[in-house]
Structure 1
Amino acid sequence: MTLIDTYAWEGRIFSGEWFFGSGEHYQATEPATGKSLGLVGSATADDVQGAVERAARAQREWAALPYDERAGVLRRAGQLFEKHHEEIEDWIIRESGAIRAFAAHQTRNDGAGECYEAAALATAPYGQLLRSHQQRLSFSRRLPVGVVGVIAPFNAPVTLAIRAVAPALAVGNAVVLKPDLRTAICGGVLLARIFQEAGLPPGLLHMLPGGLEVGSAIVDHPQVPVIAFTGSTATGRAIATSAARSLKRVHLELGGNSALIVLDDVDLEKAVSVGAFGSFHHAGQICMASSRHLVHSSIVDDYVALLAERARTLPVGDPARDDVAIGPVIDAPQRDRIHQMVTDSLDAGARLAAGGTYDGLFYRPTVLADVPLTAPVYCEEIFGPVAPVVSFDDLDQAASLACDTAYGLSLGIMSRDVARAMTLADRIPSGLVHINDQTVNDEPTIPFGGVGDSGNGSRHGGHSANLEAFTESQWVTVRGELPQYPF
């Protein structure tokens, strides 16, 4: 049995059942070939209104179920990710352009893993006893917020949706999910089918692909008190501004311009491999990508030469048909933005060491040396397979360069002297720090998030962060008898 048969979902949206939405159909295409993958249904603000009303009704019964019934649904969802992993991976590869290894990571590590962690969350302690100077029982408990809005991007469509959908459901909420239209099948249809097959009661998960109108309707709806958004900093700011008017909670995981610092005592061959993965994995379309290589001046020339050689030899092509290291970028506007940043940076004085060309949506891994600190590839999030290299002379300068950004998502430092690397890390604001590794790292068990323009802190992952994100805290006191007041 296949999980994602087109006859069930083509041209439709999901709101407990599959039906034709009010929006226009969208042609899903394979970025590597331009071939059609099917028609995706899309929603409008009216569809959001109906979905939220149904979600709010269904949520009350869901929250009242014994915790083990909710946990059972999440466990079965995880098992379905594992059972159908090959089919799921094929869809991720074809729709998002991911290579097989990244598709497998999203399916078995993040898809199944997030569901299993969410199942454990449903069974975890959800409150604590509190001291009181009065003769009464005093405790706090975490209660579901009701309906959670999840807005997910194209680049890791399974991971960046399931990490909010699964824990939100586990603690008793309903979810309205808006996947990116460019990856609405693996980022939306797939999740709806998984939870259908896992036995999630109707009305608890709604999958509404769409554009700005749909996202705004979810953010503005008075019955959606919590929004989990992953995407650009500009859009995150707009969502936060809109949500503030109704005092909603927003969990924002935004852009990055992460530094990978290479100290002078590293094993250069290994360091170049680490750096290449950090910048070129998934064609650089990862918020945590190693966007700025800060390399000690004593080794920077050798580092650039070796990194450029690595970039020139990495195979680029269609990951559904060839054994490649890098697939296509998602679409032509994304490719053109990357290329404009590269050419503008060359005009500003950067030196092209490798790459800088493309064929269709396949952008060659690119290494830029002698990058001015004013160049676009240094100042802005690239979201493409580009490795800008800047040199430094001492740790003070390395720290200053690493801090020279509004973002604060991830940081990598490579050195044989771990204590020195940790001391340097203490000077650089970042939500994630990886000593002797590149910047692209995440696990379902770990709180994830950035600071500054990268978001509002760790809001996804781990029991404590997920409970904080998707529940409200309530104080409760209980007396055995009525008290006597002086009234």
Structure 2
Amino acid sequence: MTLTTDPAATDTTAGTAVAPAAWDRKIFTGRWSEGHGGTIDVVAPATGKVIATVGAASTADLDAAVEAATAAQKAWGAATYDRRAAVFRRAAQLLEADPDRLLRWLVPESGSGQGKAAFEVGLLVAELNESAALASHPYGELLHSSKPRLSLARRVPVGVVGVISPFNFPAILALRSVAPALAVGNAVILKPDPRTSISGGLALAELLADAGLPEGLLHVLPGGAEVGHALVVHPGVPCLSFTGSTAAGRKIGAAAAPLLKKVHLELGGNNALLVLPDADVDAAASAGAWGSFLHQGQVCMTTGRHLVHSSIAAEYTAKLAEKARNIPVGDPTDPANALGPIIDAGQRDKIHGIVTAAVEGGATLAAGGTYEGLFYAPTVLADLALDSAALTQEIFGPVAPVITYDTVDEAIDLINSSEYGLSVGILTSDAFRAFELAGRIESGIVHINDQTVDDEATIPFGGVKASGVGGHFGGARANLESFTDLQWITVQSTIERYPF
């Protein structure tokens, strides 16, 4: 690890703290207003500095938001598609013209490397454009009927959608629910992770307001678990979209079940990269490093298990460790640093505890395993016991555990042994063989000759098993199914006669 931590040399965030933004000590309720939950200091994990202070919402603010959103949604749901589409086209244009309106917060607030942050902004532009297209997408179909009548099914807005989003890719993991839900005629209440309240919510609200979104349709309520729980159990919010840990998702599902809500849960992963014996080892190690170390491994799709054929495992591990040792880590406001900090000390200590336990259990530490402050060195582990937490748990850090296999059947069994089923990569010189193997893998996503981290606004995204339930994000069909209800309508020219 090459570490750069001199704030005097790298800190470019000071300007953002000097001139208060629109959200200074505010929440967003269609307009900037003071929350009744006090304030939240936004801290850059790389430096420990407070870079902004935003408002904190209370449960009373949530109640008011639901009431306002319910009222505003009626006219928005009845609006013509072109009116809704225009908002998202304009938002995409504004962000494309000035990506810094998000970049300057994503980098310090979430600890994003500048390449990762730029990639995330690109995803936002794509999501906004796809949401504009979604507004005009066909939303129903004609159905056959045994009676002489017109029979059709159409998608109608659910009303108010609650969104709870995480810290790691804060902007896109919020917007991928917010934008399509709004585009099909709903109102939205967003509770971002309090550690990324700006890039995960308030900056998005400013963008959409600048693009012409009518007042009252989007509410951004930074706050803690109390506000999140109130959103989950609020009877006026019939649909929930949550992205986060599997443990939290199970609690949300249980709390929402008595209200019979539509609940979409995109949860954790312990994703496998299967390196077949005919793979190009240099290319495979490059893909594996990206999959495990991008954004410090704080991605639900992070490559958490490298399954490498025994004939090439030593070479692969050595090349992966070499890449890990040469990745520059430090304050991400310095563009020389590819990786930034872990989000907070609690998460860093969890990562280090798993690595330490693995080494104490007999694993070989091929690279990393150390940290300075919140900067954790990209780490490669080999020779692990199969019951090691480094293999069975989602680490959510820059750790690449490597295990070997001898037969493809053994490798498939190892992949499917996980409780998770989000993303799998297969690296080989025989792509069609990998395609055939994909049918045996229990995963919502399989990438052939790529690593495990990928997403596109046009693609239905989601996992199986403990990685998700309730719907998918992305693509017109999946978004319509997730954020609308199905309504059956029949029409006939005369009143039906009955024998009563």
TM score, norm. by length of structure 2: 0.95
| Residue correspondence of structure 1 range 10-25 to structure 2 within 5 A | 10-25=24-39
| Residue correspondence of structure 1 range 229-248 to structure 2 within 5 A | 229-248=242-261
| Residue correspondence of structure 1 range 434-453 to structure 2 within 5 A | 434-453=447-466
1:32–1:327 CA contact under 8 A, matched in 2: yes
SS of equivalent residue, structure 2 residue 127 = helix
Paired position in structure 2 for 1:369: 382
In structure 1, what residue type is equivalent to 2:317?
A: V
Structure 1 gap segments, 5+ residues each: none
Paired position in structure 2 for 1:69: 83
Paired position in structure 1 for 2:114: 100
How far does residue 458 in structure 1 lie from its aligned partner after superposition?
4.8
Paired position in structure 2 for 1:394: 407
Q: CA RMSD in A?
A: 1.3
In structure 2, what residue type is equivalent to 1:336?
A: D
In structure 2, what residue type is equivalent to 1:131?
A: H
Q: Whole-Å Cα distance in 2 between the matches of residues 343 and 41 of structure 1?
A: 39
Aligned residue-pair number: 485
Match of 2:445 among 423, 432, 441: 432
2:99–2:121 CA contact under 8 A, matched in 1: yes
Match of 1:206 among 195, 219, 222: 219
Q: Whole-Å Cα distance in 1 between the matches of residues 229 and 101 of structure 2?
A: 33
Is 1:321 the counterpart of 2:304 in the alignment? no
For residues 366-425 of structure 1, give each alpha carbon's deviation from its aligned partner in whole angstroms, at most 9, with x where no partner exists: 000001111111010010000000000010110111111100000001010112212222
For residues 212-237 of structure 1, give each alpha carbon's deviation from its aligned partner in whole angstroms, at most 9, with x where no partner exists: 11111111111101000000001000
| Residue correspondence of structure 1 range 27-46 to structure 2 within 5 A | 27-46=41-60
2:45–2:109 CA contact under 8 A, matched in 1: yes
Is 1:215 the counterpart of 2:209 in the alignment? no
For residues 60-95 of structure 1, give each alpha carbon's deviation from its aligned partner in whole angstroms, at most 9, with x where no partner exists: 011111110001011111112212202311210111
Q: Whole-Å Cα distance in 2 between the matches of residues 430 and 458 of structure 1?
A: 15
How far does residue 322 in structure 1 lie from its aligned partner after superposition?
3.8
Paired position in structure 2 for 1:253: 266
The list of structure 1 runs, each at least 4 consecutive aligned residues, that deviate by more than 3 angstroms after superposition, is 2-5
Match of 1:381 among 394, 404, 407: 394
Q: Whole-Å Cα distance in 2 between the matches of residues 310 and 9 of structure 1?
A: 41
Q: Whole-Å Cα distance in 2 between the matches of residues 186 and 322 of structure 1?
A: 19
| Residue correspondence of structure 1 range 4-403 to structure 2 within 5 A | 6-108=20-122, 110-403=123-416
Flag the 1:413–1:457 CA change in 2: closer, same or farther, 3 A: farther
In structure 1, what residue type is equivalent to 2:39?
A: H
In structure 2, what residue type is equivalent to 1:256?
A: G
Q: Whole-Å Cα distance in 2 between the matches of residues 344 and 300 of structure 1?
A: 22
Identity %: 56
Q: Whole-Å Cα distance in 2 between the matches of residues 121 and 437 of structure 1?
A: 29
Q: Whole-Å Cα distance in 1 between the matches of residues 326 and 271 of structure 2?
A: 24
SS of equivalent residue, structure 1 residue 47 = helix
Q: Whole-Å Cα distance in 2 between the matches of residues 327 and 457 of structure 1?
A: 33
Paired position in structure 1 for 2:11: none
Q: Whole-Å Cα distance in 2 between the matches of residues 368 and 7 of structure 1?
A: 44
SS of equivalent residue, structure 1 residue 298 = coil
SS of equivalent residue, structure 2 residue 333 = coil
SS of equivalent residue, structure 2 residue 413 = helix
Paired position in structure 1 for 2:10: none
Structure 2 gap segments, 5+ residues each: 1-14
SS of equivalent residue, structure 1 residue 202 = coil
SS of equivalent residue, structure 2 residue 197 = helix
Q: Whole-Å Cα distance in 1 between the matches of residues 331 and 16 of structure 2?
A: 24
Q: Whole-Å Cα distance in 1 between the matches of residues 194 and 95 of structure 2?
A: 22
Q: Whole-Å Cα distance in 1 between the matches of residues 314 and 134 of structure 2?
A: 49
How far does residue 457 in structure 1 lie from its aligned partner after superposition?
5.9
How far does residue 484 in structure 1 lie from its aligned partner after superposition?
2.2
Flag the 1:402–1:123 CA change in 2: closer, same or farther, 3 A: same
1:3–1:84 CA contact under 8 A, matched in 2: no
How far does residue 25 in structure 1 lie from its aligned partner after superposition?
1.1
For residues 439-486 of structure 1, give each alpha carbon's deviation from its aligned partner in whole angstroms, at most 9, with x where no partner exists: 001000000000011011651000000000000000001111222222
In structure 1, what residue type is equivalent to 2:82?
A: D
Q: Whole-Å Cα distance in 1 between the matches of residues 379 and 413 of structure 2?
A: 25
TM score, norm. by length of structure 1: 0.98
How far does residue 199 in structure 1 lie from its aligned partner after superposition?
0.8
Q: Whole-Å Cα distance in 2 between the matches of residues 7 and 128 of structure 1?
A: 46
How far does residue 3 in structure 1 lie from its aligned partner after superposition?
11
